[in-house]
Amino acid sequence: MIGDNMLEKFSVKNYKNFKDEITIDFKEKHDYQFNKNCIKDGVLNKVIIFGNNGEGKSNIGYAIFDIVGTLTDKYTIPPQANDFLNADSDCKEAEFSYTFKFGDIIVQYNYKKSEFKKMTFEELYINNEKVYEYDFVKKSFNHQNMKMIEAETLNFEYYEANIAVLRYIANNTTQTDESIVKKIMQFVTRMLWFRSLRDNSFIGMEIENTDIAEWIISNNLVKEFNEFLRENANLNLNVGNAELMGTKNTNILIEKHKHRPLVFNNVASSGTNSLLLYFYWYKHFKDVKFLFIDEFDAFYHFELSRNIIKNLLKYDNMQTILTSHNTYLVDNNLLRPDCYFILKDGALKSFADSTDRELREGHNLEKMLRQGEFNG
Amino acid sequence: MDKKNLLFITEGEIDEPKFIEKMLKKCLPNVEYNVYSYTTTIHTLARKLFSKNGEIDEDLDIKGVLKEEETDLSKRRILEKSYTDIILVFDFEPHCDSPEFEKIKKMLQYFTDSSNMGKLYINYPMMQSYKHLKKMPDNDFMNRKIARQDASKYKDIVNDESFYKNLSKYNYPIFMGIIGHHLMKANYILNRKYELMSRDEFINLDYIKIYDKEWRSNRKDGVVDVLNTFVFFIVEYNSTRMIEKVKEFM
């Protein structure tokens, strides 16, 4: 197969504040000749979504990551399930559609749900050919092409219809490395959502240890953490580690000072704590296929936000969506007009598609954003 | 950023960077700066800045426009940095084959703030005019002109006539003397007064009117008055103090 595994397109309907269908199409790239590292195999690989408060920037993240709860036992968070259906719609199901590109094979996986944990409909297409379709309400199964996913011998007699068919197939068949089911599962288990606002919650991925400080110490990463802070945030904190004696010996991070050390957790600013969290996930980036960081730079100085984007650009393996309010990041020196999106009135459009004007590398996108050029 | 960090966008890649280095070393030793050499004339640059309606596209960013065609990685890096001020230094080029004098005038009207879109300085006929002095004081500088047909030989002419050929010997008094002469010349072009202007007159110095007069003179009589406006950048940095300093050394 040629090319990487990527999410090409995602749509959702009747979910949270999205009454009508909203789509993010990563194929909608323009022919810009600069910052080509934002694009991979013809698909947008680094995207930043802007939008006013309440437009649903966080909800679009929860929606994309719905598939993690549908197909895996990985972590999900309560906001994904709460107020699941749109409160204005008469429709009783939310509709999700994922189009993946696995090399040159296009896979579309659609499903409907009435609640976060309640499937009502599901279908799978490979290169536009329907593999199966299952209606959970009528219990009607159309599975004429199960051979395409090496599941033709699977017995559905004992299928209890409380989990997705695709998940049942993945759990109950032996799939080769080249199989589409395996590719979907490998992609979904490598999706990661996190944010550094209020709490350190996340969706997807495995984690070894929830105490980040302890994780850094036990993996001998204290020195690297210091370097990371210095390089990206221009911070010289002289972080070290110390053993806390007590009923159970625990390792903690400290800041070394002339007269006495300070406990890192007690003295770290919101920004530094946010960087600690970023550092933790950053050490996992090599295993991530799809990353969403909500309000990624809420606690960052504007220069630091740019450094973080430059850091993320190094990870070609990881399709990335960020949300932000920081217009300083809108710059053709960082990304390009087809990678900046505006979420407005239930629609997601790139800057390039939000104006009739032909945008050039020379355009000052930040100024144009502030002046309302992309509100169109 | 509490420190000035300047970007000079120049036409040439040899004389201008050398002159800027020396002038800053002697006159503003504490500023950080980079020089980006465009290596093409302002007439070419002008065509890239205008939209179809014949006006400057004010949503363009000068660094971005230059980056569009720059393939040299180290030069692209210069354009990717952030600066407190952007200063454009270009030659009038009276002898340009496909001139864009109308557009350049609009550029002068637009590029007026170094800390915002950038500030444009035009030198008549070109950068090397700074040293077109035969002695100090040089009262004949008032009437020093160059014919359009000689503009392509201007560097040689200056080198023949200048008493200040050797940039390495420039010191602070020489820079103050050079700035003083060009201030007097600007005053003469505008007001027929070959004398230093006050700080208030300097603040209101009409670069557009100078351009209009030079443009008309080039069109009608085929000559331009020798004048370097880029050296006024040093005065603009702190005009109250610098006007006094210039007086001191004149």
Digit-coded pLDDT (tens) for B77-133: 999 999 999 999 999 999 988 899 999 999 999 999 999 999 999 999 999 999 999
Residues A226 and A131 in one domain: no
Burial of B233 (0-12, 13-18, 19+ CB in 10 A): buried
pLDDT, mean of residues A61-72: 97
pLDDT confidence tier of residue A162, bands split at 50, 70 and 90: confident
Give, in order, the Cα–Cα distances in Å from A160 to each of A143, A165, A275: 16, 10, 44
Q: Which of B44, B128, B129, B118 is nearest to B88 (CA)?
A: B118
- Chain B partners within 8 Å of A371 (Cβ): 59
What is the distance between the alpha carbons of residues A254 and A46, in angstroms, rounded to a whole number? Answer: 35
Q: Does B69 touch chain A (CB under 8 A)?
A: no
Q: Which residues of A touch B86 (CB under 8 A)?
A: none
* Nearest CA among A196, A171, A190 for reference residue A181: A171
Residue B200 main-chain phi, psi, to 5 deg: -65, -40
Find the domain containing B205 and state its range. 5-249
User: What would the DSSP string read from start to end of A291-322?
Assistant: EEEETTTTT--HHHHHHHHHHHHT-TTSEEEE
Whether B60 contacts chain A with CB within 8 A: yes
Higher pLDDT, A197 or B45: B45
CB proximity list for A40: less than 8 A, separation 6 or greater: A4, A6, A316, A319
How do A347-350 and B32-37 pair as beta strands?
A: unpaired
The CA–CA distances, whole Å, from A202 to A1, A108, A147, A285 equal 32, 26, 36, 14
pLDDT on residue A250 = 82
Q: What is the mean pLDDT of residues A266-287?
A: 92
pLDDT band of residue B1 (cuts 50, 70, 90) is very low
Same domain, yes or no: A261 and A196: no
**What band does A375 get if pLDDT is binned at 50, 70 and 90?**
confident
- Examine the fold and report which residue of A248, A273, A298 is the final residue of a domain before the chain moves on: A273
pLDDT higher than threshold 80 for residue A248 = no
Q: Is the pLDDT of residue B34 over 80?
A: yes
Phi and psi angles of residue A371, each rounded to the nearest 5 degrees, phi first: -85, 0
For chain A, the average pLDDT equals 92
Is 0.90 exceeded by the ipTM?
Answer: no
Return all residues near A271 (Cβ < 8 A) that are at least 6 apart.
A233, A299, A300, A301, A304
Residues A244 and A101 grouped into a single domain: no
Do residues A335 and A365 both lie within one domain? Answer: yes
Stated pTM of the model:
0.88
Do residues A219 and A315 both lie within one domain? no
d(CA A288, CA A63): 18
Q: What is the pLDDT of residue A1?
A: 52
Which residues lie closer than 8 Å to A358 by C-beta, 6 or more apart? none
What is the reported pLDDT for A152? 86
Express each pLDDT in A92-110 by its tens digit: 999 999 999 999 999 999 9
Q: Round to whole Å and give the CA distance between A111 and B157.
A: 80
Residue bearing tokens 């953490």: A225
What would the two tokens of residue B214 be? Answer: 């030079």
Least confident among A3-7, A153-157, A334-338, A352-356: A153-157
Q: Among A363, A371, A373, whose Cβ lies nearest the Cβ of B64?
A: A363
Enter the DSSP assignment of B247: H
Which whole number is the average pLDDT over A210-238? 92
Q: Are A255 and A262 in contact (CB under 8 A)?
A: yes
Instruction: Report residue A265 as tokens.
Output: 């957790």
**Total domain count, chain A:** 2
Torsion, CA B91, CA B93, CA B94, CA B97, rounded to 10? -160
Burial class (CB in 10 A: 0-12, 13-18, 19+), B3: exposed
CA–CA separation, A56 and A31 (whole Å): 29
The lowest-confidence range among A44-48, A143-147, A331-335, B163-167 is A143-147
| Residue A376 counted as domain residue | no
Which residue on chain B is closest to A336 by alpha carbon? Answer: B64
Whether the Cβ atoms of residue B246 and residue B116 lie closer than 8 Å to each other: no
Contact, A292 vs A61, CB < 8 A? yes
pLDDT of A299-344, one tens digit each? 899 999 999 999 999 999 999 999 999 999 999 999 999 999 999 9
- Unique residue bearing structure tokens 């976060």: A116
Please provide the average confidence, as pLDDT, over all residues in chain B. 95
A86 by Cβ neighbours in 10 Å (0-12 / 13-18 / 19+) ranks as middle
Q: Report if residue A375 sits inside a domain.
A: no
User: Does B2 have pLDDT greater than 60?
Assistant: no
- Written as six digits, the tokens of A138 are 């009528």
Domain of A219 in residue numbering reads as 212-273
The last residue of a domain, from among A273, A298, A322: A273
Q: What pLDDT, on a 0 to 100 scale, did the predictor assign at position A197?
A: 63
Classify the C-alpha dihedral B183-B187-B190-B194 as positive or negative: negative
Name all contacts of A92-95 with Cβ < 8 Å and 24+ positions apart: A93/A14, A93/A120, A93/A121, A94/A12, A94/A13, A94/A14, A94/A15, A95/A11, A95/A12, A95/A13, A95/A14, A95/A15, A95/A21
Amino acid letter for position A68: V
**Chain B residue closest in CA terms to A367:** B59
User: Rounded to the nearest 5 degrees, what angle is found at the Cα of A119, between the Cα atoms of A117 and A125?
Assistant: 130
Diameter over CA atoms, chain B: 50
Query: Do the chains contact at A363 and B59, CB–CB below 8 Å?
Result: yes
Q: Are residues A37 and A182 in the same domain?
A: yes
Chain A within 8 Å of B75 (Cβ-Cβ)?
no
Q: Are residues A179 and A292 in the same domain?
A: yes
> What pLDDT shows up at residue A71?
97
Q: Is A314 exposed, middle or buried (0-12, 13-18, 19+ CB in 10 A)?
A: exposed
- What is the spatial distance between Cα A322 and Cα B123, in angstroms, rounded to a whole number? 47
Number of neighbouring beta carbons within 10 Å of residue A196: 24
Average pLDDT, stretch A248-271?
A: 89
The DSSP code sequence of B170-188 is --HHHHHHHHHHHHHHHHH
Distance between terminal CA atoms of chain A? 40
Give the 3-state secondary structure of residue A83: coil
CA B45/CA B59 separation, integer angstroms: 16
Q: Write down the pLDDT at residue A208.
A: 67
Residue to substitute from A307, A363, A368, A370, interface B, most B β-carbons within 10 A: A363
| CB of B247 closer than 8 Å to CB of B173 | no
Q: Look at B68 and A373 and tell me if their CB atoms are within 8 Å.
A: no
User: In the prediction, which pLDDT does B226 show?
Assistant: 98
Write out chain A residues lying below 8 Å of B80, CB-based: 333
Q: What does the pLDDT read at residue A177?
A: 85
Same domain, A83 and A222: no
Percent of chain B residues topping a pLDDT of 90: 94
User: Do both A218 and A201 map to the same domain?
Assistant: no
Domain count, chain B: 1
Claim to verify: residue A139 and residue A31 sit in the same structural domain: yes
Do residue A249 and residue A302 come from a single domain?
A: no
Q: Which of A294, A149, A328, A362 is nearest to B49 (CA)?
A: A362
pLDDT tens-digit profile of A176-213?
888 999 999 999 999 999 997 657 788 998 776 678 88
Residues of B in contact with A373 (CB under 8 A): 59
* Partner residues linked to B154 by β-bridges: none
Among candidate residues B167, B120, B153, the one with its CA nearest the CA of residue B22 = B167
- Residue A233 and residue A119 share a domain: no
| Cis bond before residue B137 (omega within 30° of 0) | yes
B60/A360 CB distance under 8 A: yes
Read off the pLDDT of residues B172-229 as tens digits, 9 standing for 90 and up.
999 999 999 999 999 999 999 999 999 999 999 999 999 999 999 999 999 999 999 9
Which of B36, B58, B61 to probe the A interface (max A CBs under 10 A)?
B61
